[in-house]
């Protein structure tokens, strides 16, 4: 029998790295995927050494469709996966009229196309297991549009909707599909400074990536279709109508850009 692996995209830092560390602690072999030149091989070596598991790295740009096909062909040919975590994502805060077409396309290619194609092409592999899991990382931004961040929330709304539909379609199979919509996480110095600038509410709603990853994996094993890690923010976004949240969040993004 082939050894089982968990495939994680966007695994070199932030939440993806935390998923890798948590699964390694549980003794799970890993296929870690990230952009080139992000020290992914070092992470794999450290996890293998510390937890006595196999950690294989694969560096590629998922915004290029051909790369996604090559990745899935490589996985299906060489490995059996029973966990797929689609964590890779691209965002940004900019005025839509000031960005290039490539900037817009990259968000859609990574957040929407890559996630969808990975699942579509790896699903037969996952279904070969007695139990298998897909976890898609959406965002709190999925629940409210906002100016100056127009494409990103729309792409994450797709991920949330796609995940819920896929869960229903596969619920009678051996593949469970979950989706998580985390809010702000202190993944690096810049993001931490942005969260701190938001004051009390920013600190109240932010989470540590390691805590989010551990909780998500626990809930995924319990076969929860929707994993809620930031209940306060979700309640606010669901209770308040869009005509209230839209200008508030847009002004917040506008403030980050320092535009009039």
Note if 171 is an active site residue: no
> Using CA of residue 207, residue 208, residue 210, residue 211, what is the dihedral sign?
negative
Note if 156 is an active site residue: yes
160 token code pair: 């949330």
- Residue among 152, 160, 167, 254 flagged as catalytic: 152
* Cα of 253 vs its chain's centroid, Å: 21
Please tell me the distance from the alpha carbon of residue 116 to that of residue 100, in angstroms, as a whole number. Answer: 24
b/e code 79-107 from CB counts within 10 Å (16+ = b): bbbbbbbbbbbbbebbeeeeeeeeeeebb
- Residue among 17, 156, 160, 254 flagged as catalytic: 156
List residues with catalytic annotation: 152, 156
């Amino acid at each position: 029998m082939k050894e089982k692996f968990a495939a994680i995209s966007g695994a070199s830092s932030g939440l993806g790295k935390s998923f890798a560390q948590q699964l390694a602690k549980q003794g799970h072999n890993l296929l870690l995927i990230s952009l080139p030149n992000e020290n992914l091989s070092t992470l794999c070596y450290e996890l293998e050494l510390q937890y006595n598991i196999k950690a294989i790295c694969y560096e590629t740009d998922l915004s290029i469709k051909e790369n996604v096909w090559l990745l899935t062909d490589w996985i299906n040919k060489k490995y059996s996966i029973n966990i797929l975590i689609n964590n890779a994502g691209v965002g940004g805060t900019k005025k839509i009229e000031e960005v290039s077409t490539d900037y817009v396309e990259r968000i859609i290619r990574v957040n929407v196309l890559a996630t969808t194609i990975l699942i579509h092409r790896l699903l037969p592999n996952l279904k070969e297991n007695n139990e298998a899991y897909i976890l898609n990382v959406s965002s709190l931004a999925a629940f409210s549009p906002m100016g100056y961040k127009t494409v990103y929330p729309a792409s994450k709304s797709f991920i949330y909707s796609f995940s819920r539909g896929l869960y229903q379609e596969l619920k009678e199979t051996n593949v469970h599909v979950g989706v998580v919509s985390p809010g702000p996480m202190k993944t690096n110095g810049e993001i931490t400074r942005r969260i701190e600038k938001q004051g009390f509410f920013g600190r109240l709603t932010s989470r540590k990536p390691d805590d989010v990853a551990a909780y998500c994996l626990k809930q995924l094993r319990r076969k929860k279709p929707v994993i809620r890690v930031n209940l306060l923010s979700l309640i606010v976004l669901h209770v308040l109508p869009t005509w209230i949240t839209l200008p508030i969040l847009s002004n917040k993004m506008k403030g980050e850009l320092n535009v009039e």
